[in-house]
Amino acid sequence: MPLGYCPVPADCASASEHVHLGCVSENRNWCKQPQTRELDVNQLHYLAYGSNLHPLRLKQRAPSATPLAVVRLSGQRLTFHKRSKDGSGKCNLTPGDGCMAYGVLYEMTSGDMNALDAAEGPGYLGQLMGVTVDSQIYTPTIYVARSTSIDESLAPYSWYRDLVVYGARYFGFPSSYISALQGVPSVSDGDVGRAQMHQSLLVAMAHHPALSRALPVA
C-alpha cells in the first residue's frame, strides 16, 4: 500500500494559483518556472515539506533559516518511499490528481544552503520552483527523490514521521492533513542512540514557542 496523504482538505479545496513547480525529475510534468527576481543575492530560499519543516530541526543544518510563508502544493502527494542509507523511508513528493501537500518557504544564507544540500545527499535531486508571496516571486530549492532512490515497500521510522507531524502542527497545517500524517505506518528504529536523540528533539519541538505572527499562505 502506498504511503502518503492525498485528499484535499475542505478548507483548502481551491488550488493555489501562485505556486509554479519546475520539472524536477525525469518522470514529472510540473508547471514551467516563471520569471523571477531575488530580494537579496546573499540570501537563498528553500521549500521544506518533510522532516525539515520545523525550524528547530532545520536550524540544526541551517542556523540562519527563517520561515517566510506556508505553501500549498496542489496536485502533489506526500509519500515516505525515498530510500535512505539507514534503510528506512524518507519524504518525497509525487504527482497525484486531487491531492494537496503543504510546505514552508524558508530563507537562509548561501553557506547554509550549501550545508543543507550536502545533508540531503545524492538520493535527492534539488531543483528550483517558483512561489509568489504577497506579489513577490521567490525561487526556492525543493528536494525530490531520484527515481533510482524510490522503494515503495519502505516505511519511515516513527521518530521521522513524527518530525513531519510536529512541523505540520507548528505551522498550522489543516487538521485533516496532520491526522493523515499521524496515520502513516511506521517502524521502530533499531539504533537506540539515534532514536533517543530524535525523541529529545521532538520533546524540544513540543515546547518550542509559537510563531509570533501567522505566516502568509501561498
* The total number of structural domains that make up the chain: 1
d(CA 15, CA 12): 7
**Residue 27 belongs to a domain:** yes
> Residue 172's domain is classified under what CATH number?
3.10.490.10
The candidate with the shortest Cα–Cα distance to 86, out of 164, 151, 167, is: 151
Length of the chain: 218
Examine residue 47 and state whether it is found in any structural domain, yes or no: yes
Residue 200 covered by a domain: yes
User: Which residues form the domain of 178?
Assistant: 10-206
Residue 3 in any domain: the answer is: no
Write out pLDDT tens, residues 121-142: 999 999 999 999 999 999 999 9
Question: Tens digit of pLDDT for each residue in 140-182?
Answer: 999 999 999 999 999 999 999 999 999 999 999 999 999 999 9
- Distance separating alpha carbons of residues 76 and 97, to the nearest angstrom: 8
| In contact, 80 and 156? CB cutoff 8 Å | yes
In this prediction the pTM is 0.84
d(CA 146, CA 29): 14
Q: Is residue 212 part of a domain?
A: no
214 part of a folded domain: no
